[in-house]
Amino acid sequence: MTDRVVLAYSGGLDTSVAIGWIAEETGAEVVAVAVDVGQGGEDMDTIRKRALECGAVEAVVADARDEFAEQYCLPALQANALYMDRYPLVSAISRPVIVKHLVEAAKYHGASTVSHGCTGKGNDQVRFEVGIGALAPDLTCIAPVRDFAWTREKAIAWANDRNLPIDVSKKSPYSIDQNVWGRAVETGFLEDIWNAPIEDVYSYTANPAEQRDADEVVITFDKGVPVAIDGETVTVLQAIQELNRRAGAQGVGRLDIVEDRLVGIKSREVYEAPGAIALITAHQELENVTVERDLARFKRTVEQRWGELVYDGLWFSPLKDALDTFIAETQQHVTGDIRMTLHGGRAVVTGRKSDVGLYDFNLATYDEGDEFDQSLAKGFVQLWGLPSKIAARRAQR
């Protein structure tokens, strides 16, 4: 039986060329796998047909939009995951779901190898190969662009020589990766970190400087899950899509950062994540109302480590699994409504409501009805500061 290679297929130049190149170099049949994580753009059936026209013996299209939203975006939301305190892991959380479908396809089609189109400079090579190794240690990986120094010029020449059915005449000045959780843009003039982004970089968001009326939205959560927007029941995917639309129309979610890549270099990235930023903002505020102080403090440490693990390609690691269990426990009382104003590139919380919140008006108020016994505070302050006072006396001696 002829060996088979499963290829993570995007429909673009590099992975289209990879189909024929892998077949010629290895003698294996290529099964192309395209995973829909809400990236938009071309119709997925068109991408499937292109893979077959480029020489794939099988072409699989997986609609993973709800799966991605519920099993990957939602954990990131509940972890308030922001790598380097800003980046909502747009690309990082899409790779594990793609890996899962690649491995399933490899098992189904009897493939011994999985291939991807990543370069040697980026994080995605790690996310793909470490993830594949965790789910199927017997599979091997090849990366034509990285392992065999494929350049765009070589890929275009290969495509032209073999009359592949892909348009190689137009070259975007940017490298773009997008899904329903957000959009990542890099390369081109953005590689000079002094250059400011221009408006044609953006697609998910409108210019926040333009004059427009503000948009008020109420997001309802049940145990950390967004379940309604303005009283209308939604799935997780629908919540993200609706806030992509509404927050994006207000310019919310634009990020321009220099981030630390796993491979050791710094990279300038421009992101758009209107739905992700709006949802994380709302979720964080509801946690402020419903999660006990020490649990919340410790969770912030867990959130940072969770984000680093996911960014570094360790979605399927034992530590990530253990932290998932902790985070899930913290969500038991994250139920209620958050009102936000979306305007001028910002999502600003203006109201909070929860039947299981820990905010007690009668303890917090300074007006009539105050139930807080201030007479207890004097002794508390003295005992709380006693260790520091004793240490200070020793220092004075």
Query: What is the domain-level CATH number for residue 371?
Result: 1.20.5.470
Q: Residue 299 falls within a domain, yes or no?
A: no
Q: Provide the pLDDT for residue 390.
A: 96
Name the active-site residue from 66, 175, 337, 354.
175
Query: What is the domain-level CATH number for residue 65?
Result: 3.40.50.620
245 is in an annotated binding site: no
188 is in an annotated binding site: no
Name the active-site residue from 4, 95, 246, 268.
95
Is 124 designated active site? yes
Strand partners, 257: 269
Q: Containing domain of residue 376, as a range?
A: 361-396
Question: Total domain count for the chain?
Answer: 3
109 plus 129 within the same structural domain: yes
112 is in an annotated binding site: no
Per-residue pLDDT of the chain (397 residues; tens, 9 = 90+): 689 999 999 988 888 888 988 988 889 999 999 999 999 877 899 999 999 999 999 999 999 999 999 999 999 999 999 999 999 999 999 999 999 999 999 999 999 999 998 988 889 999 999 999 999 999 999 998 888 777 777 778 877 877 777 765 556 678 889 999 999 998 889 999 999 999 999 999 999 999 999 999 999 999 999 999 999 999 999 999 999 999 999 999 999 999 999 999 999 999 999 999 999 999 999 999 999 999 999 999 999 999 999 999 999 999 999 999 999 999 999 999 999 999 999 999 999 999 999 999 898 888 888 898 889 999 999 999 999 999 999 999 9
368: left (phi over 0), alpha (psi -120 to 50) or beta: beta
157 plus 184 within the same structural domain: no
Half-sphere exposure of 199 (CA within 13 A, CB side): 6
How would DSSP label each residue in 338-349? EEEEEETTEEEE
Is 95 designated active site? yes
Q: Provide the pLDDT for residue 175.
A: 85
146 plus 213 within the same structural domain: no
Q: Provide the pLDDT for residue 249.
A: 98
Q: Provide the pLDDT for residue 156.
A: 80
Q: Residue 244 falls within a domain, yes or no?
A: yes
pTM: predicted TM-score of the whole model, two decimal places:
0.94
Q: What is the rounded CA–CA span in Å between residue 270 and residue 188?
A: 12
Name the active-site residue from 124, 177, 246, 254.
124
